[in-house]
Copies of this chain bind each other. A is one copy, B any other.
Amino acid sequence: MSDRKQELAQAIEAQATLVKQLKADKADKAVLDPAAALLRSLHQELAALDGGAKGKAAKTSFNLKTAKGTKDYNDKDMAIREKVFSTITKVFKKHGAVTIDTPVFELKEILSGKYGEDSKLIYDLADQGGEECSLRYDLTVPFARFLAMNGKEYQNFKRYHIAKVYRRDQPAMTKGRMREFYQCDIDFAGVYDPMIPDAEILRVLVEALTDLDVGKFTVKLNHRKILDGIFEVCGVPEANIRPISSAVDKLDKLPWEDVKKEMTVDKGLEEAVADKIGVYVKLKGGRDLLEKLQQDEELTKNKSASEGLADMALLYDFMDAFGISEKMSFDLSLARGLDYYTGIIYEAVTELSGPPKAKDGAVLKKKKKDDGELDESTVGVGSIAAGGRYDNLVGMFSGTNKKGEPNLKIPCVGVSIGVERVFSILMARQAAADIKSNETEVYVMSVGDSLLKERMEISKELWDADVKASFMFKNKPKLDKQFNACEKERIPFAIIIGKDEIEQGIVRIKDMRSKDESQGGGITVKREDMIATLKEKLASI
């Protein structure tokens, strides 16, 4: 125990006795309160010291890590991440979108009843007095809440939002499945003619994934109304449609037999109904599938399905005009778990999205390791983007009029790109050593003498002229150490000074990228020409 901690411990003991005595004596508040306050201060200081110097015990008891399912991004990761964000932002801005930001936590009631079975994954804040809050689960619900609050000004609104969201899910870190992760969302809000914004959102998605260079990808596409129509036609009781829809949504991860079991055993569906659903949800294709369904009389007689089919026909025309139809796979097994979708739904997948397959081609089932964590060799990266149309979400926040209709109805369509999964794909491709994370242009170094003040004055001149410059934080730096730093940081130019240069009012400029020995100590320029010469050289990089 340090001297100070010993002293504190003694002080605390003495003060505690005093406070106890005062309380026993029912002392006046004006006496008791300050005594108790001092005791608290002493405890706080001791606690602070304990936090810092747990000694040997600290070694074993202190858990030096980030929280489960979260990770740090170092400077190299960030260089990749910023490139990803700027690529996506450029596409979003090309389509007229502007950005907003919302808080990382919302009132708990804002999030409740929006995420179906996934609501259990929401992070809550502790009750420390005041409002009940939760961390946002996605950027869509906060956007709808924003529109409900500000909808008069934002009847027509193209917005994007790049920010972190939170889900208490079982993480698979190397596959980019985390508890804290970034989403890049773009949504078009407003009352427009059918399927026009929907088609442009899909065009945005295709552009973004193409520019991100994630490799071959497909956008699975379906329509909630078609799906609901199929369930109705097959004979699913209306109250059971959402649960059955959740089961269908698992078809990308589970074989049909398991999904059927969930429908019949867990959710009480008749086997014949499940089999009939099975015939539909195994269908996938392009416009050909649409034409096939348009000839299915059972479906076209169903109101919901026939509305969905009309939407899809219009959408295919628009996607042709936008040149993106061939990226789409109309896939009746796509259901999407979230409650709020009302129209088209979609999900982009790459070859790495699905679960790994065994040698015989069978899908490997998700496995847990002994410690309860997921075995990451048995899971895929999942979809890399997803979205859909949600026409009623804003209305859920706006309150209703006398007729029970929402006061404000702003239909929306949007997509969310899950960039963590894109990062995993891109990071796997790039060697960390090849990434220059700093932007420094010039390193100011001295030969022979300290010349600290002179290096500082030259750095000041460079900074004043907006040149990115560094120097070594040493009084007497060795020349080879300065050269090494320059090389390690990949700084293209060095300014070199010695006693002679200072006396003659000159500096040397050396191109550090060149291995040409003939430049020797670099070219010499007059001090007053230093900035101009350097700027010229920098411009030619």
Contacts and interface: CB of A to CB of B under 8 A. Distances in A.
A265 B37 CA distance: 10
A300 interface: no
Interface stretch (A119-127, A226-234, A273-281, A510-518): A119-127
Contact of A128 (B113, B123, B439, B453): B123
Interface in A377-416: 392, 395-400, 402, 404
Sort chain A's interface into a size bin: 35 or more
A34 B103 contact: no
A146 B37 contact: no
Contacts of A456: 199, 318, 321-322
Contact of A400 (B59, B96, B453): B59
A26 interface: no
A63 B399 CA distance: 10
A478 interface: no
Contact of A105 (B56, B70, B150, B322): B70
A63 B131 CA distance: 11
A8 B58 contact: no
A369 interface: no
Contacts of A500: none
B65 A149 contact: yes
A96 B397 contact: no
* Among A100, A207, A397: residue with most chain B CB under 10 A: A100
B104 A180 contact: yes
A491 to B, nearest CB: 8
A267 B11 CA distance: 13
Interface in A250-282: 265-268
A268 B35 contact: yes
Interface string A38-60: 10011011011111111110110
Copies held by the complex: 2
A106 interface: yes
Contacts of A78: 98-101
A474 to B, nearest CB: 5
B239 A113 contact: no
Interface string A75-94: 10111011000000000011
A95 to B, nearest CB: 7
Contacts of A116: 44, 48
Contacts of A124: 125-126, 128
Given A4-B239, A238-B4, A474-B193, A397 B64 contact: yes
Given A8-B239, A104-B164, 11 more contacts: A38-B240, A44-B116, A44-B243, A47-B113, A48-B339, A56-B404, A72-B146, A78-B100, A126-B126, A158-B470, A197-B473
Interface of A: 4, 7-8, 11, 33-35, 37-38, 41-42, 44-45, 47-56, 58-59, 62-68, 70-75, 77-79, 81-82, 93-107, 109, 112-114, 116-117, 119, 123-128, 130-131, 133, 135, 145-146, 148-150, 158-159, 164, 166, 168, 180, 188, 190, 192-193, 196-197, 199-200, 203, 207, 237-240, 242-243, 265-268, 317-318, 321-323, 339, 392, 395-400, 402, 404, 437-440, 452-453, 456-457, 459-460, 463-464, 466-470, 473-475, 489
